[in-house]
Every structure is written in structure tokens, then in C-alpha cells.
Amino acid sequence: MLTLFHYPLCPHSRFVRLALEELGASPRLVEERTWERREEFLRLNPADTTPVLIEEGAPPVPGAAVIVEYLEETRGNAAPAHLMPQQPTDRVEVRRLMSWFNDKFFAEASGALVNERVYKRFIPSDSGGGAPDTEVMRAARSNIKYHLRYIGWLVRKRDWLAGTSLTYADLAAAAHLSAVDYLGDVPWAEDESCKAWYARIKSRPSFRPLLRETLPGLTPAANYADLDF
């Protein structure tokens, strides 16, 4: 049994959830509010970040990148989908793009928007919570356009982001975009190739659990669960 400590709009959690579904390993989900700094969770991950994967007989596996490596090593060869190419040179491109979205896109767009529009609602004001910073949100929304054009450029050259088949790179990009899309902050008209690529991923069975979820008090954008957006 796999247990995933996650937060519904955490982009990194969404990435791992998509990967697990594609690998045919649906986990038991435990919602973790990291701003509460639960002692039990800090024992699992002293960094106090989601996601964290727990599997019986194994130590806690913290962080999206580490979890994906663990999944690839333990389930990659037996999984119905091969999300990491066999050739080392092809793996470099998948890992490069995973880092692009999990690090760069998160820092410039998805992480900032989720923090300002969601997390700060719950964080005490003396710990950085409170009203969202409109300048931070404006910058993040502007940065998204560049990333959409980059995705569009990639998929006009390739079938998927990293090559000829779906990989962890596509799941990472889609996970971060899905969190922002829930908030209605993705300007899909910016690049039609990117929009068509996202529609393909959004239609996959692995995406259904994400599209069905809603957060209390935060209604998703009208197009969020629409496969024909």
C-alpha cells in the first residue's frame, strides 16, 4: 500500500499523483497542510514540504523529484506506461524538462500563484499569510505566457515534450499548469499548440481524479474540468 501526503493544489503533489496513476499505482491520499507544521509530518520530512510518499518497508520518500526516481527504480520496468526513455541521452532531456517545470516554472509562476491565492489564506499573518500580493501575481501571470510559448515550441517539433512518447516531463508540465488552471490564471489563447497538447493530457484517465476534486471555498475556473476547453 502506498500513501501519499499531499495538498490538492500543490503542483509537485499533482505531478506525483499523475505519475502514480500512469504507473497503475493509485495511492491512499492524506491531505497535509504544511503551514500547520505537524510534528508527525516533520518526522517524515523535516523540510515540511509536500509531497511525501510512504511505502511499507521503505523509508519516507520526500519531494517530487526523489519520488519519481524511486518509482522509476521500483516500478518503471513493470508499469503499463514507460515514462522514462531507455537511452541515457533521452533521459537527460526528460530530467531537464522535469527540472524546468518543477523548479523554474514553480518559482516563476505556479508556486507564486498558489501561495498568494491559496496558502496565504490559511497562514497566520505573522508567518507570511494575509492578503495576496498583487504585484507578485501580476508577475507570475506574465511569466506563464513565456512558458506556454516554450511548451508550444517543443510540441511543434516533437510528438510530446521530450520526444516521441509521453514521459514524466509532460506530467510535470501538466501538473503545474493544472494548479494554475484551477485558479483560472492560464491564458490558453497565448499558444494553440500548447493548448492542444494540454487537452491531450487532460483527457487521459490519470487526470480524472484531479479534475473531480474541488477545494472548499475555492471554486475552480469554469473551463478547469472541461475536456473541450
Query: 45 and 6 in one domain?
Result: yes
Phi, psi of 3 (to 5 degrees): -120, 130
The strand pair at 2-6 and 28-31 is best described as: parallel
Query: 154 and 97 in one domain?
Result: yes
Query: 22 and 120 in one domain?
Result: no
Cα dihedral across residues 41, 98, 10, 36: positive or negative:
positive
Query: 189 and 94 in one domain?
Result: yes
Tens place of pLDDT per residue across the chain (229 aa)? 899 999 999 999 999 999 999 999 999 999 999 999 999 999 999 999 999 999 999 999 999 999 999 999 999 887 677 899 999 999 999 999 999 999 999 999 999 999 999 999 999 888 889 999 999 999 999 999 999 999 999 999 999 999 999 999 999 999 999 999 999 999 999 999 999 999 999 999 999 999 999 999 999 999 999 998 8
Q: Count Cβ atoms below 10 Å from residue 113 Cβ, excluding itself.
A: 25
Tally of structural domains, the chain: 2
C-alpha cell at 67: 519520488
Residue 82 lies in a domain: no
Residue 29 lies in a domain: yes
Q: Of 40, 75, 110, at which residue does a domain stop?
A: 75
Task: Give the CATH number of the domain where residue 23 resides.
Answer: 3.40.30.10
Whether cis (ω within 30° of 0) applies to the bond prior to 187 is no
Q: Mark 171-186 as b/e (b = at least 16 C-beta within 10 Å).
A: bbbbbbbbbbbbbebb
Q: Of 23, 50, 75, at which residue does a domain stop?
A: 75
Taking each helix axis from N to C terminus, what angle separates 64-75 and 88-99, rounded to the nearest 10 degrees? Answer: 150
Residue 31 lies in a domain: yes
Q: Which of 65, 79, 116 is nearest to 206 (CA)?
A: 79
Q: Of 12, 40, 75, at which residue does a domain stop?
A: 75
Phi, psi of 217 (to 5 degrees): 80, 0
Task: Provide the pLDDT for residue 114.
Answer: 98
Instruction: List the 52-55 sheet strands across, edge first.
Output: 28-31, 2-6, 52-55, 61-62
The strand pair at 28-31 and 52-55 is best described as: unpaired
Query: 118 and 22 in one domain?
Result: no
Task: Provide the pLDDT for residue 153.
Answer: 98
Query: 92 and 170 in one domain?
Result: yes
Task: Provide the pLDDT for residue 128.
Answer: 85
Residue 169 lies in a domain: yes
Query: 133 and 111 in one domain?
Result: yes
Query: 99 and 67 in one domain?
Result: no
**Which residue range forms the structural domain that includes residue 197?**
88-207
Query: 106 and 174 in one domain?
Result: yes
Query: 98 and 63 in one domain?
Result: no
Do 198 and 156 contact (CB within 8 A), yes or no? no
